[in-house]
Structure formats: structure tokens, C-alpha cells
Structure 1
Amino acid sequence: MARRITRRQALAASAASLGYLHLAPAVSQARVFRANEKLRVGGIGVGGKGSSDIDQAGELMDVVVLCDVDEGKLAPKVKKWPEAKTFSDFRKIFDDQALLKNVDAFVVSTPDHTHALPSVLAMRAGKHVYCQKPLTHDVAEAHLLRAEAKKNKVCTQMGNQGTTGNGLRRGAELLRAGTLGDVTEVHVWTNRPIWPQAPKVTDANPPKAADAPKGVNWDAFIGPAPERPYAQGIHPFAWRGFWDYGTGAIGDMACHTANMAFMGLNLAHPVRISAEAGDVNPLTCPSFAHVVMDFPARDKMPALKLHWYEGKRDGKKVLPPEELVAKATAMSKKPLVDSGSIVVGSKGLAYSPSDYGNEVFFSTGEVTNGGTKPETMPVNNGGDGGQKKEWVEAIKANKPELALANFDYGGLLTAAFLLGNVAIRTGKPFSWDGEKGVADIKEAAPLIRREYRKGWDLIGYNA
């Protein structure tokens, strides 16, 4: 059976920390691989983004397990890898100890609300994990995954493929080198949402319940989320706009669009978060939001404010101040794009006109892009496939740090921006103690760490 931890074990963690840093003993340790040995991988969620994820992993490893709640998404992968064992409920994978002995790694590409569970179970079984962005659905889960990866000594990677880009890596290096002087502002915006959510769909106007399509295991799709009837449109894509399953625009894109600045400015835990948002409701993500995150001073870097913008307000896209946009576009000779970032320092600014931060224009004259080579970080520039290749190289070298979007970094990036969703949903600014995992408003706690549905807490999360 899949290993569960007891309530007593879970409560061993400090009560002030909400319990999310508790570590259960690993089931087994990750094994060491020979340089030319081919790894064996399982795919959990193989439709949508998971389709390309398992295809790319399959170019580097032998695919031995396939899991998806939708038989229609599973079928073409079964045809491609007929020897792989198949599942519609990932829990059954981890009940099969004989199977687990023949799996080295897992790629997790399910909806956001089911990222954490299979990832934790895999790591506790000594398996390496690649998990799509955002790493988790909840802030607490993100820090749990960071801790589990370290405890179980496995190699991990989050699927924000822009991290492989030469331009992003060199841009981050220039920020770290102080090219812009003292950076005190970061502005990031997105073209999301591009799926139905508020104001079209809210708790006052929910989608109509219907029978789940034939071949869809709806109970497995719901997973640890509250039990609800199937509704047309949620599966397989629009779930991103529903709080139970997705993390909205900020969860979907901040791990991409804010990545260059977050990495280059050595950001970690914000200390204060506030948000202004429209059409906030308990069912779906907002129609627009402007989130402000205050980060403390880091080494020689001063404190800064990071602004996140999403959606439309009164029919107009929410964006950084017009004066700042004008400076960035004039400096770069690049028009304003639907998604991008601007970094403001005492010596100038940097403008990245893309989702992935791979092209960056500095007012000090530097330009980074795919043709630029990083100086302190390794060259990858392989995009999505390169993200998997880097992960496999880390596994074979037994060096988790070789995967630059490993769960230690990816967990910090994810957790910081998921706090924006907490501010959106509570409607209140709050201070945050990142080491203890505590906000100074009581309304934040159930959003930082949700309750898992009965039958789905295999990791002691509800303890």
C-alpha cells in the first residue's frame, strides 16, 4: 500500500509552521546510475501539456508507466508505448511496490491541484520527479516539495522551460552583477486569463452540472479537491480558472514571466503582500488583479517591490504605469507586448518583451537572447526538451543542483506568487514569515494550506 504518515508524526513539526515542513522517512533511497544507463520513467498526466512532456521524457528514458484520468488522452500514448502499465488513478501506482522497483523517475503533468500528491509519494519512494509549473496548488505544498526533495536526495525539475534559455540565464547574471545598480521595482504582466473565469463564470453563475464523459475518471480528476459534480468546460482545460483545481493567471504564468527577475535578484520569501482585484468570488479566479509583493534586502541588494498585473479592468488591460512602459519601449525600440517584465534600478532599467524572459534589453546597452552565452551558468538553450535533458543529466550525475529549476528554487518561485492568490482571495494585505509559514491574518491559513478530501491524504497533509 502507499505509505501514509500518522497524525502523531505530522504533529511533530512546529505548530507555528502549519506543519508543512514535516518530513516522513523515505520508503527507499534513489539509486546511482551508470553514465550510459537508460532510466525508466512514468508519466502521470499525459494529455495537454503532459503529452509533450512524456514524449520528450520518452526520448531520453524508457516509458514504463502511463497514467491519465481520461482514456482518450491515454490511448495514443498506450499505442506508442504498449508495454507500459496504465492507470487512471495515480494512487494505484504507489500501491504497487513491485512496479515501483522498476521505475526510476516520474513526470507529473496533471492539473495544479494534483501536482503535490504524486510528487511527494514519488520522492518518498526514492524516485526523481519532473513536475509542471506551478509546482503546486498551495503555498504550503510548495515548501513541502522543497523539503522532500532535499530529504530524499532526489533530482527534481519544475517545468518552466524558459529557464533553459541563454538569454534568461545571461539576463539573470547581469542583474546579479549589479548592471542596473540598486533594483527597487519589478513589474510583470500577462495575457492571461485566456479561459473562462470571472466575470463570465462565478459562484453566482456556475457551469451546469452534467454527466462526466465516457472514459473520464472524474473522481480521480477531483483528487484532493472538494467533491463536486462534473461540469462541462472544466476538463480538460478551463480548470485553470477554478480555485479548486487551478491557480489562475498568476499561477499559470508567473513561474515563466517573473522567472528571470526572480532568479537574477535572488528573491525568496516576500514579507508583505497586497492585492487589488475584481469580481472576487469563491468559485473562480478574478477578472483582473494587481498584486504587490514586498521583498526584503538580500546581501548587497536592497528591498524591492514586485508588481504583478493580470486581466482587464473596465475593458482595459491591467498594465504597469504608462510612463514606465514608454521608457521601456523607447529604450528597447520594441513595442509593448501582451506578456513581459520590466526591472527598474538606480542605473537604468531592463525590459523583457516575452513570456519566458529569454530576450532582455538593458538601458545600459546589453542585450541578451538565444545567441547570448551565459558566463557563470551552463549553456542549455534547449527549451522544453532541454529542461528534461538537464534533469536527466542531474540524475545521472547525482547532482540535484544541475537542474536549475529544481524544487528548491522552483518551490520558492511558486510559493511567492501563490501568496498573491491568498491576497486576492482574502482581500486583505498581510505580512508573511516565510521560514515559519505564517501570515498575520487568520483568513490566510486555509488558503495557504487547504484540507484534502477524505481518501486522498496519503502524505499526512491534513494532520
Structure 2
Amino acid sequence: MPRKALIKNYSRRQFIGASAASVLAVNYLPSRVFGANERLAMAGIGIGGKGGGDIGQAGGLGDVVALCDVDSKRGAGSFNRFGKAKRYTDFRKMLDEMGKSIDACTVSTPDHTHAPAALRAMRQGIHVYVQKPLTHTVWEARQMRLEATKNKVCTQMGNQGTASTGLREGVEAIQSGVLGELTEVHVWTNRPVWPQAPGITDRLPGQQKPDHIDWDSFIGPAPMRPYNGGYHPFKWRGWWDYGTGALGDMACHTANLAYMGTQLTQPNWVEPVTVGPINPETYPGWAVIKMKFPAIKGRGEITFNWYEGREDGKKKLPAPDYFHGIRPSNSGSLVVGTKGTLYSPNDYGSSWQILPKRGGNEAPKYEKVAPRLPRNNRGDGGMKEEWVKAIKANKPGIALSNFDYAANLTEAILLGNVAMKVGEGFEWNAAKLSSPNKKVAQFVTKEYRKSWEI
């Protein structure tokens, strides 16, 4: 049933027992109330590649009424699969024309259009599922969290490892105390696996644009530049204007277990330990970023370390003695405590083991604690299932990577990219989104092309 029935449904299902004040105050209405067996009207923005999987899984839980992709060839699979859905290349037009008929929407576009699409949808009361990283800038991540709360929509970010039983058990292990006092986190990646510095540092020359691509809509809020196949598809990840580099692309996955387990929120110090040469077009070839997260009740200060890329052919990794003779995986994470270390050898935190503490010889014995987090273990599809369950129950917290969590994770991660450009360590005031270092402000947000503002 489309959202145009909002007031009708509210009157029928919720008026009895509600106070007059809550009924009259539109800001306090849920975006829509659903029956347990009612099918949601779904839309998809960015429906090729990963987006095809997202709308495919979400669409199986509802009725797909609208689809949008800037590339009709890459989107063809989804367009054909959901042949009754209305087709668009510009999400602004889709939401303007069909917003009242859409209950929930997936957003799986390049990073620079996540927030423009999702914010526009949420402001119309549409529940959103947004691919990782949640946004392109720190400021956008904050706006996503605020708008989700303001509009009372249910949200989920697409870091699918969150659904795995292994990750949820790992979170419980970290919080059980088996590692002792938690002191450090280390996260590393095999990215970048796309072109960027040092191989590419200059803007690409213009090429003839294929007819199946709406280039203006691909560019979206970014400054206009001529089409080149070196930007789209996939390779946009290494360009400042469109992607978020290795850190943005993978830390929402690879840091997820450690971030959730150690209950991190926002750092108060961010430092580029080492960064490859910076250019105005593409992300650097390597980086090591350090952040300090303040103590909270139950744990002390945590130092977070991120490693990406290769310098002179040598992969950036934590020191060898953290691994106790184990060959480090291509991507993974370490949570270090005074009694032991939890090592996860993959991107998604779905498997892990407990090692001795750094400098120690014997790993602490861990007896599995009683589950505190609900079990899903249905992978990427399970993320959509929890999101839809949250929508129907009107309980945003059912989706564990809802924007209260995911926006904080994204803000912290993207501060690492800010540090790359600033070129020096800086104090960070998360409440004010500001730093005493005057160089920082210009990289926390960005300018938007006319008619694409958010």
C-alpha cells in the first residue's frame, strides 16, 4: 500500500489510545504504519552491480514500483527483473514524481550521491537502505543521522558483515572482558584495487559519452567534467570527487567488529602517521592513520590505527609481533587488550580467534557468553530482512547498522580522509564538528553543484 494512505492508515490503526496532542503534531507521526503481512512499495537508486543485489533482495520483501540508474545498460538486469517499475535516470525526478507512492528505498550509487539521494528520500518519510560508506563527507554523515531521527524513518547501512553470527559473537567476546583492558585497534586492507595515485594523479581527457549513460546525473553534486570511462563504472572509488578511497570503501566493513565491540563513537585526535603524495584528483597510494577515542564508562582510551596501500611495494600492516607468528591476512583487524588480542582475518568480522597479548605467550581462555545480540546470520539478505522488520515494527533499532550507529562509524572513518588532506594531526570536537586547526574545516564538508544541494 503506498504512502499516500498515511493519514488514513494512522486514523484507522492508531487513533484509539493516542493523545490528541500526538495526533495533531504531524512531526510525531511515524512515517507509515504497516501490517505484518503488508508489502512495502520499494524503489531502488543505483541498481547495477552491488545495487542490483540490493534492490533484488529488498524487492523480494515488497513490490518494486520505481527504479533509477544513470546507466541503462548496467541497470538492465534490474529494469528487466522488475518490468512494471517506472524507470528513471535522475533520482530527484523519481522522488519528486513518485515520493508519495514509495515506502522504502535502496541507495547504491557512487559515494558522492549517497547523501543527496537518501536525505531527499528521508525528508519525504521514506525508509532508506544505503550502501557503505554512508556518505562522502563527515558533515553529510551527521545530517543523515539527524534527518533519520527527525523524520522517524527506519534505516540501515549496507555493511553486511553486521548480520553474521560470527561478528555478533565477536562483539560479545570483546565486551566479555576476556581481553582485559582494551587499549588498541588495528585495521588493514588490501585496497586500493582500482586506479588512483601514484599511477593516476591528473584529470582524465574527455571521451565520447555512450548514449546509455546520463552523465549529468552521474556527476550529480560534484563539479562537472567531461565523460571518461576511467570514472564509471567502479573506478570512481579512487577519485576525491566521487569516492572515499580505500578507507571509505572498506573500513565500514573491516573496522566494524572492532568499532562495535569496543563501543567507539568519535575520536578527539586524528593523525596522518604516513601518507603518500597528495594530489587534487585521486587518493594517495598509501596511508597509515591514527585516531584516539576518549575513555567511556567501562573502558579507557582506545588508539585506532588504519593501514592501506603499499609504499615502494611494501604493504602497510601492523607490527609483526601483534600476530605471534601468524601470517597477516590480506585484510583484517586486531583488538588489543592487556590480557589478549582478538584477531579477525577477513573484511567482515565473521571469523576470529583470540591470541596472546602483545609480548605474551599464552592466549586467555574464552568461554562463550550468553547471547546479547539477536542472531541473523543471513548475510547481505539478512540486512534487508532486519531493515524491513524494523519498518513494520516501527522500531529502528532492530536494524543494527541503523544510522545512529552507521553515521557515527562513517564520521569517524571519513575523518581519516580529512587527515590525509590536512597533512598533520588535529584535535577534533565531534559535538561541534570542528577543530582548533583551521585547515580542517574546508575538508569536513564541500560545495554542491547548483540544483544538487542538500
TM-score with structure 1 setting the length: 0.88
> Which structure's CA Rg is the greater one?
2
Counterpart in 2 of 1:18? none
Match of 1:404 among 396, 400, 406: 400
CA distance in 2, matches of 1:366, 1:196: 44
Whole-Å separation in 2 of the counterparts to 1:440 and 1:90: 38
Given that residues 67 and 86 in structure 1 are in contact (C-alpha distance below 8 angstroms), is that contact kept between their aligned partners in structure 2? Answer: yes
| Matched residue type, 2:379 | G
Match for 2:63: what amino acid? D
Match of 2:350 in 1: 358
Quote the Cα distance in structure 2 between the aligned partners of 1:440 and 1:450: 19
Which ranges of structure 1 fall in alignment gaps of 5 or more residues?
A: 1-24, 330-334
Query: Is contact 1:26-1:125 (8 Å) kept?
Result: no
- Match status 1:319 vs 2:317: yes
1:114 pairs with 2:110: no
> 3-state DSSP class of the match of 2:428?
strand
Question: Does the CA-based 8 Å contact 1:170-1:374 persist in structure 2?
Answer: no
1:158 Cα offset (Å): 0.1
Give the TM-score, by structure 2 length: 0.90
Partners of 2:366 and 2:167 in 1: CA distance: 11
Instruction: Please list, as runs of the form range in 1=range in 2, the aligned pairs for 1:211-250 lying within 5 A after superposition.
Output: 211-250=208-247
Q: How does 1:267-282 map to 2 (within 5 A)?
A: 267-275=264-272, 276-282=274-280
Q: Is the 8 A contact 1:70 1:88 kept in 2?
A: yes
- Answer whether contact 2:154 2:396 (CA < 8 A) is retained: yes
Contact 1:28 1:126 in 2 (8 A): no
1:209 to 202, 206, 209: 206
C-alpha distance in structure 1 between counterparts of 2:449 and 2:333, whole Å = 38
Structure 1 residue 367: Cα displacement: 7.6
Deviations 1:93-117 (A, max 9, x none): 1221xx2222100000000000001
**Deviation at 1:362?**
1.3
1:59 aligns with: 60
Deviates more, 1:178-187 or 1:73-82: 73-82
Q: Secondary structure at the match of 2:343?
A: strand
Give the Cα–Cα distance (whole angstroms) in 1 for the partners of residues 30 and 99 of structure 2: 12
Alignment partner, residue 421 of structure 2:
425
What's 1:176 paired with?
175
RMSD (Å), alpha carbons: 1.7
Report what 1:291 is aligned to: 289
C-alpha separation between the residues in 1 aligned to 2:88 and 2:365? 50
Q: Does 1:262 align with 2:249?
A: no
Measure, in 2, the Cα distance between the counterparts of 1:437 and 1:284.
Answer: 25
Partners of 1:141 and 1:27 lie apart in 2 by 24
Instruction: In structure 2, give the amino acid aligned to 1:423.
Output: A
What percent identity do the matched residue pairs reach?
53
Query: Do 2:271 and 2:424's aligned partners in 1 also have CA atoms closer than 8 Å?
Result: yes
Q: What letter matches 2:90 in structure 1?
A: D
Where does residue 142 of structure 2 map in the other structure?
A: 143
Amino acid at match of 1:352: S
Change (3 A) 1:27 1:301: closer
CA distance in 1, matches of 2:77, 2:132: 24
Query: Which position in structure 2 is the counterpart of 1:345?
Result: 337
* Distance change in 2, residues 1:374/1:123 (3 Å): farther
8 Å Cα contact 2:100/2:124 also seen in 1: no
Cα separation, 2, equivalents of 1:414 and 1:62: 30
Contact 1:185 1:304 in 2 (8 A): yes
1:43–1:374: structure 2 CA closer, same or farther, 3 Å change rule?
farther
Partner Cα distance (1:167, 1:318) in 2? 26
Q: Within 2, Cα distance between the matches of 1:75 and 1:161? A: 24
Aligned: 1:103 with 2:102: yes
Instruction: Find out whether 1:70 has 2:68 as its counterpart.
Output: no
CA contact (8 A) 1:70 1:215 kept: yes
The aligned runs of 1:161-172 (5 Å cut-off) are 161-172=160-171
Name the counterpart of 1:130.
129
**What per-residue deviation string (whole Å, max 9, x for no partner) do you get for residues 272-304 of structure 1?**
001121121110001000000110001120001
The answer to whether the 8 Å contact 1:26/1:124 transfers is no
| Range with greater deviation from structure 2 (266-275 or 443-452) | 443-452
Q: How does 1:371-386 map to 2 (within 5 A)?
A: 375-386=371-382
The one-letter amino acid paired with 2:33 is V
CA distance in 2, matches of 1:26, 1:233: 45
Distance 2:93 2:365 in 1: 52
Maintained 8 Å contact 1:167/1:373: no
**Other-structure match for 2:17:** none
Distance 1:28 1:242, change over 3 A: farther
State which drifts further: 210-219 or 161-170: 210-219
> Residue type of the partner of 1:283?
E
CA distance in 2, matches of 1:101, 1:220: 22
Structure 1 residue identity aligned to 2:348: Y
Query: Mind listing any 5+ residue stretches in structure 2 that lack a counterpart?
Result: 1-25, 356-362
2:299 to 298, 301, 311: 301
Deviation digits for residues 343-389 of structure 1 (CA, Å, limit 9, x no counterpart): 11011111000000111111345689xxx897000000111001100
Alignment partner of 1:350: what SS? Answer: strand
User: Quick check: 2:174–2:342 contact (8 Å CA) kept in 1?
Assistant: no
Q: CA deviation at 1:208?
A: 2.2
The structure, 1 or 2, with the larger RCO (C-alpha pairs under 8 Å, 6+ apart) is 1
Distance 1:222 1:29 in 2: 34
Deviation (angstroms), 1:321 = 0.7
Amino acid at match of 1:381: N
The aligned amino acid for 1:455 is S
CA shift at 1:74, angstroms? 2.5
> Quick check: 1:455 aligned with 2:451?
yes
| Count of residue correspondences | 421
Structure 1 367/86 Cα, relative in aligned 2: closer, same or farther at 3 Å?
farther
* TM superposition shift of 1:27: 12
Preserved contact between residue 171 and residue 360 of structure 1 (Cα < 8 Å):
yes
Per the alignment, residue 12 of structure 2 pairs with: none
